Amino acid sequence: MAGGKPISGEVVAQHNSRESCWIIVHGKVYDVTDFLDEHPGGSKIILKYAGKDATEEYDPIHPPDAISNNLPKEKHLGAVDLGTVKKVVKEVTQEEKERLARFESRPPLDECLSLHDFEAVAKDVMPSKGWAYYSSAADDEITHRENHLAYHRIWFRPRILRDVTTVDFSTTILGCKTTMPIYITATALGKLGHPEGELNLTRAAGKRGIIQMIPTLASCSFDQIMDAAQPNQPQFFQLYVNKDRSVTEKIVRHAEERGIKGLFITVDAPQLGRREKDMRMKFEDEASDLLKGDEEKIDRSQGAAKAITSFIDPGLSWPDIPWFKTITKMPIILKGVQCWEDAVMAYEAGCQGIVLSNHGGRQLEFARSGIEVLVEVVAALKERGMFPDPNFSIFIDGGVRRASDVLKAVALGATAVGIGRPFIYAYSAYGQEGVEKALQILHDEFEMNMRLLGARNLKEVVPSMVDANSISNHSVSVPEDRLYGTNYEGLKGPHLSNIKKAKL
């Protein structure tokens, strides 16, 4: 049927059941009947759009080529005659009307003075599903909060009477020049926050001379993101390893062909963490059907995160590292190292670097922060003559909100620091301009802090400039960060369904 006469909307509408389920995505018709039970997000969401145009629901969660790449060609039924397709009328709830009104009442971009401010605005103007996905973290979210609070246990020891008329905080990461010792780390499902998704990051990074790490689970396709970059703009790629190694090999080889400068393999996610904000949002979306007495079994553990990660291989292990070296010449960095022992093993395995990370507090609750792990990793590598080594980089991520946080990490031995959530909050609230503004804020903070530290370049940001003696003391008192605390939205428990007023 593909390539022939366009299929009428009336014909598509007839295939609206579990026995025969067709959907329309981007003007093309697909038979997803056999895929219903395999869909990571469950069959329910597909059946909701059986016989209809599912593009609006599909776009924020999937790259545009996901369905065409993953469905057998015989299930690609052809183009639809859009003029005959009945429009799916999406009811605008009162909650959504109020959100849109808040969006139109956003403060001017110039009023955002710190990265905290973008989070505050995003919390008010984002769709609830997107906010739940971006802000959620594991279990009680203690690790998520600790990632930020850990920086408060490190204090500066600035030097004085140095000529800091000119300060230079540019550097190189894996041989790529960058204007600041940061990179935009990988975050999934960019279109949950903005229709342009990850492209906001790509374009802003190109303008500001910063490196973006492209996520496996981007809402935009990999090639869309690469095509949006400026000529010779360096980019990294974050890889979730597929159970089917041939799929992984294809992805890696394509990334290298397109010019990716570093392969960051995620190693801290053999199973997805329990992210209850995201899970509860999914459950509440399904609640109306439950109340209607739908007998279909509903997996209450599903959220946006769980719905897209079933392909990840829990069997990934150290013997796989040599295999990666046979399929790529890109630098290999292990993302998610959480103790010195694994850092040493990564060095001995011939990796070009590690990211000390607990996945933004979204995986194992009570995993230590990257900045705390950095201290023990540098000590262990030094002891074995493995640090410093220009061929082995140490990155960290998680909890960063200020340039001062980054400089603490650099002083303790980090090559650069990944920043994620603040940039997605920035574009969720203000688009590409928000990301550019966030980067400018960091630039200004770097300039100020370098001068006040007495460091003219990053080589002068040395361990003696910080006091990290309390980094492992989790009971030490630290000043309250009220901006961070105000933005943090605590977990909520289940709530009662709407109760109709009883007749008197």
The residues assigned a catalytic role are 240, 268, 359
Instruction: Report the length, in residues, of the chain.
Output: 504
| Burial category of 199 from C-beta neighbours within 10 Å (exposed 0-12, middle 13-18, buried 19 and up) | buried
DSSP assignment string, 146-162: HHHHGGGG-EE----S-
Residue of 369, 346, 340 lying closest to 357 (CA atoms): 369
Rounded (10°) CA dihedral 399, 400, 405, 409: 80
The helix, strand and coil proportions of the chain, stated in percent and rounded to the nearest 5, come to 45, 15, 45
User: What single-letter amino acid sits at 84?
Assistant: T
Tokens representing 62 are 């999937």
Contact between residue 432 and residue 200 where contact means Cβ atoms under 8 Å apart? yes
DSSP state of 457: B
Residue of 168, 166, 164 lying closest to 177 (CA atoms): 168
DSSP-based three-state secondary structure for 84: helix
List strands edge to edge, sheet with 76-79.
22-25, 28-31, 76-79
User: What single-letter amino acid sits at 454?
Assistant: G
Omega cis (within 30) before 388: yes
Contact between residue 62 and residue 35 where contact means Cβ atoms under 8 Å apart? no
Output the CA–CA distances (angstroms, integers) from residue 294 to 38, 284, 291, in the order listed: 20, 15, 7
What is the C-alpha to C-alpha distance for residues 103 and 109, in angstroms, rounded to an integer?
12
Output the CA–CA distances (angstroms, integers) from residue 285 to 245, 251, 349, in the order listed: 34, 33, 45
Note the helical H segments in 28-93: 43-48, 55-58, 66-70
Residue of 156, 178, 154 lying closest to 168 (CA atoms): 178
DSSP-based three-state secondary structure for 149: helix
Residues 6+ apart with CB under 8 A from 473: 153
Residue of 259, 265, 198 lying closest to 233 (CA atoms): 259
